[in-house]
Amino acid sequence: MSEPWLVEPRCAACTAQVTTSMNPSKYIEEFLAEMVELLPNSEYRKRGKCPVKEMCDAAVKRGFTNLLIFTEVTLTLTLTLTLTLILTLILTLALALTLALPLTLT
């Protein structure tokens, strides 16, 4: 019985073109530099303002079998809303505990 991780890859000649969204940050470019080193037969191409359809066509013409497009989401608004929600829950819980427990002074 063979182990599933020892199975030969389905496509020995698989190649990947790696790119980003239109305005990538320096963080995602650093991440992709490492990804290209990890993925065999891969190449990073700067996207610029090129539409996805043109990227696909160019990748096929250059002989790539896969096109990986990495995008990122800015967390500023999401993080702010999450922190606001957590703070609201903590204050609500504190108020509920304050109302539920009688204060006794001795």
pLDDT of residue 12: 56
Instruction: Give the Cα separation of 25 and 74 in Å (integer).
Output: 10
Domains and CATH numbers, the chain: 14-100 (3.40.50.10480)
Left (φ > 0), alpha (ψ -120 to 50) or beta: where does 80 sit?
alpha
Instruction: Give the Cα separation of 15 and 39 in Å (integer).
Output: 9
Output the pTM of the full model.
Answer: 0.56
| 70 contact partners, CB below 8 Å, separation of at least 6 | 18, 19, 20, 21, 24, 28, 31, 32, 35
Which tops the pLDDT comparison, 100 or 16?
Answer: 16
Does residue 63 surpass a pLDDT of 70? Answer: yes
Percent of the chain past pLDDT 90, that is, above it, reads 0
pLDDT in tens, 24-58: 888 888 888 888 888 888 889 888 888 988 988 88
- Average pLDDT score, the chain: 75
pLDDT of residue 37: 84
DSSP 5-74: GGSPPS-TT--EEEEE-SS--HHHHHHHHHHHHHSTTEEE---TT--HHHHHHHHHHTT-SEEEEE----
